[in-house]
Amino acid sequence: MPALTYIDAISRGMWEEMERDPSVFLIGEDIGAYGGAFKATKGFLEHFGAERVIDSVLSEAAIIGAATGAAVAGMRPIAEMQFADFVTCAFNQIVTNASKIYYRWRIPVPMVIRLPSGGYIHGGPYHSASTEAWFAHVPGLKIVAPSTPSDAKGLIKSAVRDNNPVMFFEFKYLYRRVKGEVPEGDLTVPIGKGDVKREGGDVTIITYGSTVHFSLEAAEKVSRENGIETKVVDLRTLLPLDRDLIIDSVRATGKVLIVHEDTLTGGVGGEVAALIAEHAFQDLDAPVKRLGALDAPVPFAPTLEAAHLPDTERIVHALRELIRY
Amino acid sequence: MARIEVIMPQMGESITEGTIVRWLKKVGDTVGKDETLLEISTDKVDSEIPSPAAGILAEILTPENGTVPVRTVIATIETGGAGAAHEPRSGPPEAPSRESAPVPAASHAPLPGAPSPAGGRFYSPLVLSIARTEGIPLTELESLPGTGEAGRLTKKDLLAHVAARKSGGSPSPAPAGATVKAVPGPVTLQPADVPALRAKYPTPGHEILQMSNVMQKMAQHMVQSVQTSPHVAAVHEVDMSAVVKHREAHAEEFEKKEGFKLTFTPYIAEAVVKAIKKYPLVNSSVEGDKIIRKNFVNLGLAVASDGGLIVPVVKHAEEKSFTGLARAVNDLASRTRMKKLLPDDIQGGTFTISNYGVFGTLVGIPIINQPQVAILGTGAIRKRPVVIDDAIAIRWIAYLTLSFDHRIVDGALGGMFLEEIVQNLQRRDRETKI
């Protein structure tokens, strides 16, 4: 198996899907000649041609509007938001149009929206947002948020083949920091299924995206220093949530820490906590604990950004509190 | 200039001492307020302790690896200006030379739901679920030591207890030799930690007394009984006039002949034994879904002794005459007071009588003496105006209470049995020979 970076795994997945299915095409700002702001589509224009790799106008509403129309007409567009922050300009196209077309007219909208998401990259308040929670409230959408190259490739392929609009959140922090073996060939990862990234019987972390990696580091640290074994569950899909895995993993330990990079209030972690309270109350040996970014925009200054976002140390601290309880 | 004491913090209700793992500052070092001053270890978790004040670390009173009780002064910090004097300067607002340091809080607040020092113990939903599944009563949970925050009983603590229970042993903190059976488990009293109690209940004002063996047994039996049997009580009024007259008529002769005083107890015992012959189900015990009905009556008599409650047993009461009952009762009562009971004297009871009337109690609700299924309580015998045939008469009245186990004795049986005792006493023929 070749080792790929997270971003290369996404590129590879898109490439394979475009080779496999001629109805798949790309649309976004500077994705063609420039190869995309993060170079995820470098070389695509040369290989697939301008009809299938479309440099769009500088309008997210136009990108999603066009992609939605193409999907309705039977195409399978992959639309790129340059930063997840900019999706606000396409909010109405996604929430009012794309998500409801199948409900209203029974016409599938097989569309993928790629959203380079999150901080830890000193991008400041307009280029570091985590915006997944806004869409987790919208029936008719699916949301995926992979944390590893292998999951990223498998999920982009599943997202392309899904007949619903899929919001594909990809974590800029992981783009080139995370490298991992990616099985070759037609690997897909099912949407709606989480994954246990580390086994442990003492305490459970439920997380996704960038914080999966901090959580794994924290789990190693408390294992080494306290002899405490942490089960780390990667949700991978945020809508629909893998309820069975969440409940089972709570039952395995009785103590849960929910971690995400997004701010806490109104975040996906709140929904996970509510599911646990509803369905696993009698399995809890401690209050459900959440850890996320402070309820503030992501600061530009690296020191402030570090203080704002969850990191390994804060997860270790929260784990120890839970262990002590 | 002031000197601030750094004390060993109390990291939880049940924590009585702490060990210093490491001093992060040396004597003479400058330390900022809330800067980590040392690391301590209590129970299983190490904690960083912030400095209560900014200043210079003046003294370290407890070295690394030293273990001291909570609230012991472990260091002092010099604060304020250049002067070396420890005396307070007059005038300035920050006055006292020796402020008692605030308890350095743990570096983080406890999670919500941690047990409050005043209220009852908190159990997590999971702990309660496990207890329910394993048939562990609340009182048993309360006897288990916890290793969680502030002594909370954690899932692990309970699972360890369950494992010990199943393997037939008891978990290490329980008294040696305590064997544990299936539901309902016997109640074990944990030896309390005296230094911890002393810290919580300081002298003067509090005394810590050891429970006697009898008292401990009483505590265990009473709690176990309430857990085992759904108690129901019925109270009937009995006219004891016939009994009182009979006793008055025979007391002198009886004492001369037998050498001890005739009491009311043999009358009640006789009435009970006769009633049991008519309603033998109250003379039973319960094993699983089976009833063990006894064809003999071993009558327990609750007797208050110096050390606590003891219930000696009149064996085969159904075979005894009135005088025989009186002799047996007198023998057991006197040997109880002289502490000469044999182990066999307090075993094998099938029904119990508790005469709390001797203390003036009119109505009581006794607790069943397991594994029996009923107990009779007898109240004080008093003269009262009562209506007989539409006339008011003065009679010797007492109240009898039957507490019974509603698993097998229902209100109808309980009431009929109790009324049978009442009738036996009221019909006591004055002329019946002793």
CATH number of A3-181: 3.40.50.970
Per-residue confidence (pLDDT) for residue B21, from 0 to 100: 82
d(CA B226, CA B140) in angstroms, rounded, equals 13
Of these residues, B108, B239, B410, B429, which one is catalytic? B410
Break chain B into its structural domains and give their ranges: 2-99, 125-210, 219-426
Per-residue confidence (pLDDT) for residue B430, from 0 to 100: 57
- Please identify among residues 78-137 of chain B the ones whose CB lies closer than 8 Å to any CB of chain A: 108, 110-114, 124-129
Question: Cβ atoms within 10 A of the Cβ of B93, count?
Answer: 4
- Which of B279, B276, B346 is closest to B318 using CA atoms? B276
Select the residue from A251, A289, A324 to test the B interface by mutation, using most B Cβ atoms within 10 A: A324
Instruction: Please identify which residue in the block is written with the tokens 């097989």.
Output: A110
Check B129 against A317: CB less than 8 A apart: no
Q: A24: which 2 tokens? A: 């798949």
Is A208 or B107 the better-scoring residue by pLDDT?
A208
Instruction: Please identify which residue in the block is written with the tokens 């229970």.
Output: B165
Check A282 against B113: CB less than 8 A apart: no
- List the catalytic residues of A: 127
Check A282 against B154: CB less than 8 A apart: no
Contacts of B400 (CB under 8 A, 6+ apart): B235, B236, B237, B238, B376, B377, B378, B379, B418, B421, B422
Q: How far is B224 from chain A (nearest CA, A)?
A: 26
**Secondary structure element (H or E) that encloses residue A198, with its range:** strand A195-198
Is A24 or B177 the better-scoring residue by pLDDT?
A24
Check A325 against B126: CB less than 8 A apart: no
Q: How far is A319 from chain B (nearest CA, A)?
A: 12
Numbered ranges of CATH 3.40.50.920 in chain A: 195-324
d(CA B94, CA B53) in angstroms, rounded, equals 13
d(CA A69, CA A98) in angstroms, rounded, equals 9
Check A325 against B148: CB less than 8 A apart: yes
CB A308 within 8 A of CB A297: no
Return the axis-axis angle of helices A6-20 and A149-161, rounded to nearest 10°: 30
- Please identify among residues 44-63 of chain B the ones whose CB lies closer than 8 Å to any CB of chain A: 44-45
Check B124 against A285: CB less than 8 A apart: yes
Per-residue confidence (pLDDT) for residue A64, from 0 to 100: 98
Contacts of A113 (CB under 8 A, 6+ apart): A64, A67, A79, A80, A81, A87, A90, A94, A165, A166, A167, A168
Q: Is B36 on the interface with A (CB under 8 A)?
A: no
Q: Is B159 on the interface with A (CB under 8 A)?
A: no
Check A325 against B128: CB less than 8 A apart: no
Using a CB-CB cut-off of 8 Å, the residues of chain B touching A282 are 125-126, 128-129
Per-residue confidence (pLDDT) for residue B98, from 0 to 100: 40
CATH number of B219-426: 3.30.559.10
Q: Is A278 on the interface with B (CB under 8 A)?
A: no
B419 burial level (CB within 10 Å; 0-12, 13-18, 19+): middle
Q: Encode pLDDT of A122-181 as tens digits.
A: 999 999 999 999 999 999 999 999 999 999 999 999 999 999 999 999 999 999 999 999
Mean pLDDT of A283-301: 96
Check B45 against A284: CB less than 8 A apart: no
Q: Which of B44, B129, B149 sits opposite A325 (nearest CB)?
A: B149
- Which of B250, B349, B339 is closest to B297 using CA atoms? B349
- Which of B359, B360, B367, B120 is closest to B219 using CA atoms? B367
Check B125 against A281: CB less than 8 A apart: yes
Select the residue from B45, B47, B124 to test the A interface by mutation, using most A Cβ atoms within 10 A: B124
Using a CB-CB cut-off of 8 Å, the residues of chain B touching A287 are 111-113
What is the secondary structure of A50-95 as a DSSP string?
TTTEEEPPS-HHHHHHHHHHHHHTT-EEEEE-SSGGGGGGGHHIII
Count chain A–chain B contacts defined by CB atoms under 8 A: 44
Per-residue confidence (pLDDT) for residue B218, from 0 to 100: 81
Check A317 against B108: CB less than 8 A apart: yes
Maximum C-alpha span of chain B: 103
Check B155 against A325: CB less than 8 A apart: no
Check B111 against A321: CB less than 8 A apart: yes
Q: Is A323 on the interface with B (CB under 8 A)?
A: yes
Nearest CA in chain B to A201: B156
Q: Encode pLDDT of A272-282 as tens digits.
A: 999 999 999 99
Q: Is B165 on the interface with A (CB under 8 A)?
A: no
Per-residue confidence (pLDDT) for residue B434, from 0 to 100: 57
Nearest CA in chain A to B158: A285
Q: How far is A324 from chain B (nearest CA, A)?
A: 6
- Which of B127, B152, B130, B125 is closest to A276 using CA atoms? B125
Q: Is A284 on the interface with B (CB under 8 A)?
A: yes
Mean pLDDT of A283-299: 96
Using a CB-CB cut-off of 8 Å, the residues of chain B touching A324 are 44-45, 148-149
Contacts of B266 (CB under 8 A, 6+ apart): B322, B323, B325, B326, B329
Check A254 against B155: CB less than 8 A apart: yes
Interface predicted TM-score (ipTM): 0.77
Q: B4: which 2 tokens? A: 């601030």
Q: How far is B139 from chain A (nearest CA, A)?
A: 19
Q: Is B366 on the interface with A (CB under 8 A)?
A: no
Contacts of B90 (CB under 8 A, 6+ apart): none
Numbered ranges of CATH 3.40.50.970 in chain A: 3-181
Q: Is B148 on the interface with A (CB under 8 A)?
A: yes
Nearest CA in chain B to A251: B126
Quote the Cα angle for A219-A220-A222, to 5°.
65
Check A325 against B111: CB less than 8 A apart: yes
Q: A102: which 2 tokens? A: 């199948």
Q: Would you give per-residue pLDDT tens digits along chain B (434 residues)?
A: 578 888 887 765 556 778 888 888 888 888 888 888 888 876 545 677 888 888 889 888 888 878 888 778 898 888 865 444 344 333 333 433 343 443 333 333 334 334 433 346 889 999 999 998 888 888 888 888 888 888 889 998 899 888 888 876 544 433 333 333 333 445 667 778 888 888 888 887 888 888 877 778 788 888 989 999 999 999 999 999 999 999 999 999 999 999 999 999 999 999 999 999 999 999 999 988 899 999 999 999 988 776 677 889 999 999 999 999 999 999 998 888 877 777 778 888 999 999 999 889 999 999 999 899 999 999 999 999 999 889 999 999 999 999 999 999 999 999 999 999 999 999 887 556 55
Per-residue confidence (pLDDT) for residue B11, from 0 to 100: 66
CB A110 within 8 A of CB A163: yes
Q: How far is B130 from chain A (nearest CA, A)?
A: 9
Check if B410 is active-site. yes
CB A155 within 8 A of CB A9: no
Q: For chain A, count helices (H), then strands (E).
A: 12, 14
Would you state the torsion angle of the CA atoms of residues B225, B231, B237, B242, taken in this order, to the nearest 10 degrees?
Answer: -40
Arch. (CATH architecture) of B2-99: Beta Barrel (2.40)
Q: How far is A314 from chain B (nearest CA, A)?
A: 12
Using a CB-CB cut-off of 8 Å, the residues of chain A touching B155 are 254, 285
Per-residue confidence (pLDDT) for residue B92, from 0 to 100: 37
Asked if residue A33 has pLDDT above 90, the reply is yes
Of these residues, B108, B231, B406, B429, which one is catalytic? B406
Q: Is A322 on the interface with B (CB under 8 A)?
A: yes
CATH number of A195-324: 3.40.50.920
Nearest CA in chain A to B157: A285
Per-residue confidence (pLDDT) for residue B197, from 0 to 100: 85
- What is the percent of chain A where pLDDT is above 90? 97
Per-residue confidence (pLDDT) for residue A292, from 0 to 100: 97
Check A284 against B113: CB less than 8 A apart: no
